[in-house]
Structure 1
Amino acid sequence: MQITILNAEMTYSKEDGYVGKVQFEAEGHSNQYEITLASKRGTRDWGYGLFFLHESGKEEELLALEDQLEEDDELFDLLVDTAKAKLEK
């Protein structure tokens, strides 16, 4: 799946751990997305939430993308790495 990154950010604190988000477009999808990422265990074991970025869209596209993220480690890692690259030092 081809994605285009629109924006990314990540912060770290002892209290919250790593918290980030990536805004992106997915090829063939009619809406843009935002994935929020969180990990309290270093940079592993990420929890995430996937949302439409601006307005609601087709639920089947969101669910298909979520399935893709669960199955495609490279795609998920790309989003995590993009957010980590923006980590405030």
Structure 2
Amino acid sequence: MMVEITAADMRRNEDGSFVGKTIFSLDNHKAKYEITFFSKRGSEWDYSLSFADEPGNEEQFLQTDALLENNDDVYNQLLDAAIDAQEGQEE
């Protein structure tokens, strides 16, 4: 499945935790998605998936969530985009 990333961001909070997000779209899905990442130390990540703009098809949303759970390559691509955005801000 083709993933198109349209925006990414990551920041480090004063307590050392990380919060980031990546906005992306998938082939044949009308809605864009936003995945938000959180980590206390930058090693183990939790995420939350939502629609980036207007709500879309619930079935496609559930398919996207399953894709993130089962496909490490797609998940890591989205996480790496957010991490890369933070690294670009630090330079």
**Which band: TM-score by shorter chain?**
over 0.9
* Alpha-carbon distance, 1:15 to partner: 1.6
Identify the residue that residue 32 of structure 2 maps to in structure 1: 32
- TM-score between the two structures when normalised by the length of structure 1: 0.92
Q: Which has the higher helix share?
A: 2
Q: Runs in 1 of length 4+ with deviation above 2 angstroms?
A: none
Please list, as runs of the form range in 1=range in 2, the aligned pairs for 1:9-88 lying within 5 A after superposition.
9-15=9-15, 17-42=17-42, 44-87=43-86, 88=89
Measured in 1, the distance between the counterparts of 2:82 and 2:18 equals 10
Q: Compute the displacement of 1:16 (Å).
A: 5.4
Secondary structure of 1:35's match?
Answer: strand
State, as a whole percentage, how many aligned pairs show the same letter.
36
User: How many angstroms apart in 2 are the aligned matches of 1:46 and 1:14?
Assistant: 18
Q: State the Cα deviation string for residues 18-71 of structure 1 (Å, max 9, x = none).
A: 1100011111111111110000032x2211111111111111100000000000
In structure 1, C-alpha distance between the alignment counterparts of 2:16 and 2:65, rounded to whole Å:
24
State the alpha-carbon separation in 2 of the partners of residues 41 and 75 from structure 1.
22
Alignment length (residue pairs): 88
CA contact (8 A) 2:16 2:41 kept: no
Residue type of the partner of 2:59? Answer: E
More strand by share: 1
